[in-house]
Chains A and B, each alone.
Chain A
Amino acid sequence: MSLTMKSPEFLIDRDDDRCINCQVCERQCANEVHYYDHDLSKMSAVDLNCVNCHRCVTLCPSKALRISKYPLEYKENYNWSAEMINNIFKQAETGGVLLTGMGNPSRKKIYWDHLLLNASQVTNPSIDPLREPMELKTFLGRKPERVEFNGEGNIVNLPPQLELGTPIMFSAMSFGSISLNASKSLARAASELNMMYNTGEGGLHQDLYQYGENTIVQVASGRFGVHKEYLNAGTAIEIKIGQGAKPGIGGHLPGEKVGEEVSRTRMIPQGTDALSPAPHHDIYSIEDLRQLIYALKEATVYAKPVSVKISAVHNVAAIASGIASAGADIIAVDGYRGGTGAAPTMIRDNVGIPIELALAAVDDRLREEGLRNQVSLVVGGSIRNSADIVKAIALGADAVYIGSAALIAMGCHLCQKCYTGKCNWGIATQRADLVKRLNPEIGVERLKNLVKGWSHEIKEMLGGMGINAIESLRGNRLMLRGIDLNPNELEILGIKHAGE
């Protein structure tokens, strides 16, 4: 065997005084890090296999485990970081494309952290959401130029709308990339919270049809599991053009993950790769996109809003304007930090633009062209907390998609190894022994808690600004100020610098 130059990323530090040799860590680790060394009569570890997902650390009954960065220092070099060097070793050994999971972790500016929110002082007093009504209800869909009423006072010309109790939705994650228990948790939480989850391009598992009212069904280039009942099962349909983590490239669910259930749901034979081509081969222009939008509307009798999801790329504003003219009811824009079950590392870390800038540009463009009322704008990739949501809405979004945050709520530790199918937390895996680690009952509770907590925080921030309805914050960029931003950035974001 030729010499491998791969070095461990993490160091397992076991406190032998605490370890009781119970072997829980060994049983819990799908990466086969821990083992009982019969010669030494104690537990030992293969550092190289560790992905630092903390499953063992969390479950070790005597708290004997610690994981740290492997202290392997190459000669100091700002240009050639350890990551760069290790990647080359890996590729020199395999000739392969570097693969990764979750969102772009690189050290690039996070614009949310350079935005600050306003609050009322003295004039326009703040509102206490604990005692006063505060409205987070959000409607997504095309709004008519003007409303018409019938004799009973009901609006007669309102296109179909999605009604959300809070301006948050769970973003597209397919059954296949995540486990059925994870999908179930998202679906049930969405239904109990009066919000939406999104099937991704994975079809709709039979057990999830009952949550149809809270489901956005996705149609992507592979058309997996897409048929009449599927389209009719959800309250909205989303055409997936792109995803923030991998703009311009398709998806690829490896055959190992296409077991019986995934096969049945995607309607493809077991064990075959599920390849989603990079483009929809029937969409080469805005006119073609319009055709798919209307084919879906015809097939579902104009009863459901149609969303089009794109990744935030250089020309996002012009593209969004085209999508609005093509007849979409919702545009979802996914920023370059958006998560994924699997993406080539180079694409994830280098393609696309920040969602904050994309959002501001799209909202501006749609307003300038008088198209803003024709579409709702949903953004994701990545929303990390309730303040990000408030900032997104102030920048012009109608609602946000959360993906990574939802997975973290269910136990994801962001180890970025989703593509291996060995997620120790039962999320990004199809292995029955791992899937059962995620109890959907608990998953639902944790998701509900997260959304409840965030919604309350949103109300408090709104109240602080003296606003009592999320509607009044939408596109209200006066509530934002920037810090550490240059004039160009401020102009794109359409905000003033703090102190101005």
Chain B
Amino acid sequence: MVEIDAQGIHYRDLNQRVRRLIGQGKREFNLINVNGQRYIGDGLASSVRMEINGTPGNDLAAFASGVEITVHGNVQDGVANTLNDGKLIVHGHAGDILGYGMRGGQVYIKGKVGYRVGIHMKGYREQEPVIIIGGTAGDFLGEYMAGGKIILLGLNRIRDEALVGNHLAVGMHGGVIYLRGEVEPNKLGREVRPEKLGQDDWDDLERLLADYCREFDFSLKEIISADFWKLIPVSSRPYGKIYAY
């Protein structure tokens, strides 16, 4: 494991250093004192593992494919942008537009996430992107979602803190969102409907959450003892009929 002290280093130099070391055959990194450096892990391929201590900047792991990153701290905006594959474990909160256009891999957030998370996530064949959020989420969660899974747990909420913001899953046309708890109908996009979970859903949920709970030392039993709902699209072609031919 190579340790890099990111204190005071510009993102360009930091990322270049990581790439150079990868070129020399290094695969495991421990980045310490990370403080807002953007684009860490961008475009990196499989078999690279990274521990990040501090707060990485925007676009962490954008366009990456296979990289594994654990962040001991919060992350900012644009994390896992167009991620193709890989695993991101964040021991903290995440900002806006997490997982935009994400096609594969897992993103586990221990805390809350901001606005526009999981927009236009899409699955393809064996690729199934998964975002699991321990806390709450802001507006536009899963907008335009075309595939994959989002699980929103809403743990550790203070008093009447809402599970999720407005415009949930607007334009969704694929994939599924699991919510631990109910959501007011006026927050839902017209393109989805809430449903109770079937046995397949529970199996899936347990499998996905088992891994998540292991990472954060959460009790799976406790988490799945609550009531879950799922959101699925009404149609895979929500706008198929709006045109005059």
A positions within 8 Å CB-CB of B: 90-91, 93-99, 221-223, 226-228, 231, 252, 254-255, 267-269, 271-273, 275, 277, 281-282, 291, 294-296, 298-301, 419-420
Contacts and interface: CB of A to CB of B under 8 A. Distances in A.
Size category of the B interface is 35 or more
B110 interface: no
Nearest to B123: A269
Top 8 closest pairs, chain A to chain B, by CB: A299-B43, A96-B244, A223-B101, A298-B39, A299-B63, A267-B124, A94-B244, A298-B42
A119 B100 CA distance: 53
B241 interface: yes
B149 to A, nearest CB: 15
Interface string B228-245: 000000001111111111
B122 A268 contact: yes
Contacts of A254: 237, 240
B154 interface: no
Nearest to A91: B244
Contacts of B19: 301
Interface in B71-125: 77-78, 81-82, 84, 97, 100-101, 103, 116, 119-120, 122-124
Contacts of B174: 269, 272
A420 B171 CA distance: 23
Given A97-B242, A294-B38, A269 B78 contact: no
B68 interface: no
A223 B39 contact: no
Contacts of B146: 268, 272, 275
B43 A231 contact: yes
B45 interface: yes
B43 A228 contact: yes
B192 interface: no
A90 B244 contact: yes
A228 B237 contact: no
A94 B238 contact: no
Contact of B147 (A95, A268, A273): A268
Given A228-B65, A291-B59, A255 B43 contact: no
Contact of A255 (B39, B78, B116, B237): B237
B173 interface: yes
Contacts of B147: 268-269
Interface string B194-228: 00000000000000000000000000000000000
Contact of A272 (B42, B101, B236): B236
B42 A299 contact: yes
Interface of B: 11-12, 15, 19, 38-39, 42-43, 45, 58-59, 62-65, 77-78, 81-82, 84, 97, 100-101, 103, 116, 119-120, 122-124, 127, 140, 143-144, 146-147, 171, 173-174, 236-245
A252 B238 CA distance: 11
Contact of A275 (B12, B64, B171): B171
Contacts of B239: 252, 273, 275
9 contacts: A99-B243, A226-B82, A254-B240, A275-B239, A277-B120, A282-B97, A298-B38, A299-B42, A420-B245
A239 to B, nearest CB: 12
B171 to A, nearest CB: 7
A96 B59 CA distance: 39
B13 to A, nearest CB: 12
A298 B60 CA distance: 11
B85 to A, nearest CB: 9
Contacts of A275: 120, 144, 146, 171, 173, 239
Contacts of B78: 282, 291, 295
Contacts of B241: 96
B82 to A, nearest CB: 5
Contacts of A300: 43
A294 B62 CA distance: 11
A175 to B, nearest CB: 16
B4 to A, nearest CB: 16
Contacts of B97: 281-282
B169 to A, nearest CB: 14
A95 B140 CA distance: 28
A388 B43 CA distance: 40
